[in-house]
């Protein structure tokens, strides 16, 4: 595909350098049946280096995952070859089934049917804690 001429899709810009692959994996972009381009280590006057992901297709994107991995990203919605909308991402207050608690004694580890819920405990440091055992994410 010509990555500069997306007709209908998304350009996820200002991704923290090195994080594009993590977004790609967590959102399972490999399973999409439309072209996806990752451009890494792009020079940015604002950020030094950044990653960009371009998706040439109208698909559902979970912005919370992007907000968790790279909260400074912007998502441009492309319609008919032009930017139709721009969303600034923020760290979500709550992550449901996006990451898993690593505490072996946590109820989410021992019980199968419980949602993995993390709450933003410190917005400045972007720290998340398990809702059940308060273990910090990662
Ligand atoms: Zn836990």
CA of 100 to the centre of ligand 1 (A): 8
Q: What is the pLDDT of residue 112?
A: 87
The closest alpha carbon to 102, from 116, 91, 114, 92, belongs to 116
Whether residues 81 and 98 fall in one domain: no
Whether residues 17 and 79 fall in one domain: yes
List phi, psi (to 5°) of 73. Answer: -70, 160
Whether residues 80 and 19 fall in one domain: yes
CA of 101 to the centre of ligand 1 (A): 5
Q: What is the pLDDT of residue 1?
A: 46
**pLDDT above 60 for 2:** no
For 51-75, how does the pLDDT look when each residue is reduced to its tens digit (9 = 90+)?
999 999 999 999 999 999 999 999 9
CA of 74 to the centre of ligand 1 (A): 30
pTM, full prediction: 0.85
For the chain, what is the mean pLDDT? Answer: 93
Whether residues 79 and 113 fall in one domain: no
Whether residues 77 and 55 fall in one domain: yes
Whether residues 58 and 99 fall in one domain: no
Whether residues 16 and 84 fall in one domain: yes
**CA–CA distance, 37 with 29 (Å, rounded to integer):** 10
CA of 136 to the centre of ligand 1 (A): 8
Domain that holds residue 105: 94-130
């Amino acid at each position: 595909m010509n990555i500069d001429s997306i007709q209908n899709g998304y350009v996820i810009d200002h991704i923290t350098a090195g994080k594009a692959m993590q977004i790609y994996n967590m959102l399972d972009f490999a399973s999409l049946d439309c072209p996806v381009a990752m451009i890494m280590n792009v020079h940015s006057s604002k950020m030094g280096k950044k990653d960009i992901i371009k998706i040439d297709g109208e698909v559902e994107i979970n912005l919370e995952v992007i907000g968790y991995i790279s909260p400074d990203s912007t998502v441009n919605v492309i319609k008919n070859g032009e930017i139709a909308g721009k969303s600034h991402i923020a760290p979500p207050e709550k992550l449901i089934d996006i990451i898993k608690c690593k505490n072996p004694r946590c109820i989410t580890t021992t019980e199968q049917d419980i949602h993995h819920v993390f709450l933003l405990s410190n917005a400045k440091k972007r720290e998340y804690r398990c809702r059940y055992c308060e273990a910090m994410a990662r």
